[in-house]
A and B are shown apart, each in its own frame.
Chain A
Amino acid sequence: MKKHNPILNGPYLIWSAAFIVIPLLVIVYYGLTDKNGIFTFENIIKMGTPENLKALLLALLLSLIATAVCLVMAYPLALILVKMKTLATGFIVTIFIIPMWMNSLLRILAWQTLLERNGVINQMLGFLHLPKLYLINTPYAIALGMIYDFLPFMLLPIYNALEKIDPNVVNASYDLGANRFQTFWRVIFPLTMPGVISGITMVFVPALTTFVISDILGGSKVLLIGNVIEQQFTLVGNWNVGSGLSLVLMVFILISVAVMQHYDKETGAGLVI
């Protein structure tokens, strides 16, 4: 193997120091000190207050629901896409990717317009002389926004994993006597576990930390942990508490990623049944 010139690593090292390591250290510093720069666990313990705990648990619950719904929707869709002819597949995959190119804020605002008290859906219900629904500013609206926003991140890794499976591996399963159901659960699904895992991670982590979706679709009525942290920085102006809560959230994310990777190594055997 050719040894790389260490100087070539320079830009990368500088880049990661400037944009990853130093900001992280700053957050740790703020999180573990008070306004006077004195070491304290006060900011961490703030997560234990009833309203913060409620926001954290709600965020966990909603992002779990959103992740589960995304998985249940994306997997069958990916299966259909892989079975389809190439031309049509490209078209449909593009349709799913195009929204990702649009500003996420814009997409969520579109949902706001749809779900509002006098929004498109309620107006249509009015035409039909049906009672209006409370859609906006509910946890359901937030979950819906998450699912809509993050579905492509679940679809693409699963689609890629499915596409990589050698058709003869599936044929081998039939050849050895397995029916369609057995072939799916014993061969196809376990082989796509890496895609499922990265899909879950890519939906769960941003959903857990979001404050934009909950801001727009939850109003000020439903607070997620992301909103609490955001408010500490923007409204309260207490960077120390905001950083402390961020550190706690980071621990939750690290745990979930570690759990996911554990299942990935076992190629899903433990997760499936």
Chain B
Amino acid sequence: MDSKLIDLQHITKSFDGELVLDDLNLYIRENEFLTLLGPSGCGKTTTLRILGGFETPDSGRVIFDGADITNLAPNKRQLNTVFQKYALFTHMTIAENIAFGLRIRKKSAQYIKDKISYALKLVNLDGYEDRMPDSLSGGQQQRIAIARAIVNEPKVLLLDEPLGALDLKLRQDMQYELIRLKNELGITFIYVTHDQEEALTMSDTIVVMNQGYIQQIGTPEDIYNEPENAFVADFIGDSNIIDATMIQDELVEILGVKFACVDKGFGTNNPVDVVIRPEDLELMSVPDDISTDSEAYEKLLRRVHKFNAGYLEGVVEHVIFKGVHYEMEVLSRGYEWLVHSTRMFRVGEKVLMTVDPFNIQIMNKPESEDEQAVQMNEM
């Protein structure tokens, strides 16, 4: 698991003078499900095309299994690609599509026949040998594209937004299908998507990219729970990103209120960004008939103080029902907080809002304005 199968070293690429990848360094281990995630124009597809051999980097090297393949033609590489919008050969039957690579390699007729039926079983489409691609649904065509790639037994399968053209339900089914396939085949998957949910569901490792730079590499849990900067936090799921001041280790001041947190090493009285996921904010209703100096209010506050954390007073501004939870906007000290809760609060209701210290994520502010621009553009 720890050997580097692919090593991208100092890859730089520009199109028409526009820098798409800037000194990209990335290695991919054997058997890994690695996802390149980012908004359009972030360089993820270019990275994949460099791996597939359809683009040559301006500088830098691509090492595959110890050998430099930077300038190797795509038909000589031991990896196969599943293209966006399937790219099936519409003039061939399904069987001929799957057999394409094997016929090029001059495999025996029996070998090809066995491989076709094996691949079709693997993608749950046996019996489709003689159909034409146009007669299949999008999801079925996608699975044929995968079958066509894997019969060649590549060491690595490159997938370029393969589920982008499918509807939501089918996309979710296919996500499970892909995980199952990867486990059955035991090969490396490199997956490109702009859909953060897809990335979180399937990946062993996520590489978040923006504007040709890698923003963060980590497991889905790392990326979601410990985003390294505001771009990652904003791109992965909904979040509240607020300017704050790190008072000292384990204490941060947000909108003038001190909150306990668990992060250390951000200095003292240092400006930072704070990320709080909407589902981590806890709301407590303040009945209208309780005034702030009453005994009942004190009691409420004591309950809020269970974390020994700070709290904010706010008013619910919007409520939307989302199925599993309610999505609310709570106005507090001039900031509109996004809150997810299974309990519903009325619009106009007064609430107290708190957060478990463990769920406050502190991030360094971008050091320069340039860096900030890189992070904030294209969001």
Give chain A's interface residues, CB within 8 Å of chain B: 166, 168-169, 171-179, 182, 186-187, 190-191, 193, 267-268
Contact = CB atoms under 8 A, between A and B. Distances in A.
A175 B52 contact: yes
B85 interface: yes
Interface-central residue, B74, B75, B91, by most chain A CB under 10 Å: B91
Contacts of A186: 100
A76 to B, nearest CB: 21
A267 B91 contact: yes
Contact of A179 (B54, B75, B88, B148): B75
Interface in B140-162: 148-149, 152
Contact of A176 (B85, B91, B100): B100
A57 B85 CA distance: 49
B83 interface: yes
- State the majority secondary structure of interface residues on A: helix
A182 B101 CA distance: 11
Given A166-B85, A168-B83, A182-B104, A175 B91 contact: no
B105 A172 contact: no
B90 A177 contact: no
Q: Which 3 A-B pairs have the closest CB atoms?
A: A176-B101, A168-B87, A267-B91
Nearest to A179: B75
- State the majority secondary structure of interface residues on B: loop
Interface-central residue, B89, B90, B148, by most chain A CB under 10 Å: B89
A176 B152 contact: yes
Contacts of A178: 75, 100-101, 104
B91 A171 contact: no
Contact of A177 (B84, B87, B88, B104): B104
A190 B101 CA distance: 17
A193 B91 contact: yes
Nearest to A192: B91
Nearest to A169: B87
B239 interface: no
Contacts of B84: 168
Contacts of B52: 171, 175
A172 B90 contact: no
Contacts of B170: none
Contact of B80 (A168, A175, A191, A193): A175
B262 interface: no
Contacts of A172: 81, 83, 87-89, 148
Nearest to A194: B91
Given A175-B80, A177-B75, A191 B152 contact: no
Nearest to A267: B91
Interface of B: 52-54, 73-75, 80-81, 83-85, 87-91, 100-101, 104-105, 148-149, 152
Contact of B81 (A171, A193, A267): A171
B134 to A, nearest CB: 12
B104 A176 contact: yes
B75 A174 contact: yes
A174 B105 contact: no
A267 B133 CA distance: 14
A177 B91 contact: no
A175 B90 contact: no
A171 B104 contact: no
A166 B89 CA distance: 10
A191 B87 CA distance: 12
A9 to B, nearest CB: 30
Contacts of B87: 166, 168-169, 171-172
A146 B74 CA distance: 43
Contact of B75 (A166, A175, A190): A175
A179 B76 CA distance: 9
A166 B87 CA distance: 7
15 contacts: A168-B84, A169-B87, A169-B89, A171-B54, A175-B53, A175-B75, A175-B81, A176-B101, A176-B148, A176-B152, A177-B105, A178-B75, A191-B90, A191-B91, A193-B91
B85 to A, nearest CB: 7
Interface-central residue, B52, B84, B88, B104, by most chain A CB under 10 Å: B104
Nearest to A172: B87
Contacts of B148: 172, 176
A187 B89 contact: yes
A86 B87 CA distance: 23
B242 to A, nearest CB: 43
Contacts of A177: 75, 101, 104-105, 152
B361 to A, nearest CB: 39
A191 B54 CA distance: 21
Nearest to B77: A175
Contacts of A179: 75
Contacts of A176: 75, 80, 100-101, 104, 148-149, 152
Contacts of A190: 91
A267 B52 CA distance: 29
Contacts of B152: 176-177
Contacts of A191: 89-91
A168 B85 contact: yes
A177 B99 CA distance: 12
A25 B326 CA distance: 74
A168 B159 CA distance: 13
Given A169-B87, A176-B80, 20 more contacts: A166-B87, A168-B84, A168-B87, A171-B52, A171-B81, A171-B83, A171-B87, A172-B83, A174-B54, A174-B73, A175-B53, A175-B75, A175-B80, A177-B75, A177-B101, A178-B75, A178-B100, A179-B75, A190-B91, A191-B90
A206 B264 CA distance: 84
Contacts of A168: 83-85, 87
A174 B52 CA distance: 10
A193 B92 CA distance: 13
